[in-house]
Amino acid sequence: MSENTTRIAVLVGSLRAGSINRELAEVAAATAPESVHVEIVEGLAAVPFYNEDLDVEPLDPAVADLRAAIDAADAVLIVTPEYNGTMPAVVKNAIDWTSRPYGAGALKDKPVAAIGASLGRYAGKWSQDDARKSLGVAGGRVVESVEVGIATSELGERTVSQVPEIVEQVRGAVADLADAVGVAA
């Protein structure tokens, strides 16, 4: 990876192996523009729920790995389903851990965005809106132009990667997020 490469860390809000949101993240990694490296952050299931009593050295290894991955990235992309009208706990928990220490967390001033897929007819809009709100409060610089919502009920038997329009939307979202890296806050 060259020093001119933009690094985007992706947090996937579904822990299920066959998740459509996981596939969206994989499409983002596979179709990223040449100068962009997209890396899916693994291990979110092992991150304990945020507890200030646990936020001391030595950090839990899963927390340390999460913070290091976000710290090393130039931007962060959340790919999330919608659970009961909002983002899954795993997404909120990752945001909470990477927002600390207050005012100096790994998310501070980084371009951030949220996309996703959900069964509902609104294609996960509420979970994405809530993720954007939380990311902004946590210190990230929300890139509002990045919006991709997939209604999974409309996929039928197809996978995400079999729908050219979706692949192009995801590629465009990654490009827009990468472009935001060079823009001053």
- In 3-state terms, the chain is what percent helix, strand and coil (to 5)? 40, 15, 40
Compute how many other C-beta atoms are within 10 angstroms of the C-beta atom of residue 122: 13
Structure tokens belonging to residue 93? 């928990």
Residue 23 contacts residue 115 (beta carbons within 8 Å): no
Q: What is the mean pLDDT of residues 78-83?
A: 93
Please check the confidence at residue 3 and state whether its pLDDT lies above 80: no
The pLDDT assigned to 156 comes to 82
The chain-wide mean pLDDT, for the chain, equals 92
> Where does the pLDDT of residue 17 fall: very low under 50, low under 70, confident under 90, or very high at 90 and above?
confident
Residue 159 contacts residue 27 (beta carbons within 8 Å): no
Q: Between 20 and 1, whose confidence is greater?
A: 20
Q: What is the pTM of this model?
A: 0.94
Q: Between 8 and 157, whose confidence is greater?
A: 8
The pLDDT assigned to 162 comes to 86
Q: What is the mean pLDDT of residues 111-122?
A: 86
> Where does the pLDDT of residue 173 fall: very low under 50, low under 70, confident under 90, or very high at 90 and above?
very high
Residue 169 contacts residue 148 (beta carbons within 8 Å): yes
Model pLDDT for residues 126-170, shown as the tens digit of each residue: 899 999 999 999 999 999 989 888 888 888 888 888 889 999 999
In sequence order, what are the residues at sequence separation of 6 or more whose Cβ sits closer than 8 angstroms to the Cβ of residue 157?
A: none
Please check the confidence at residue 185 and state whether its pLDDT lies above 70: no
Please check the confidence at residue 184 and state whether its pLDDT lies above 60: no
55 by Cβ neighbours in 10 Å (0-12 / 13-18 / 19+) ranks as middle
Please check the confidence at residue 1 and state whether its pLDDT lies above 70: no
CA 90, 44, 79, 67 dihedral sign is positive
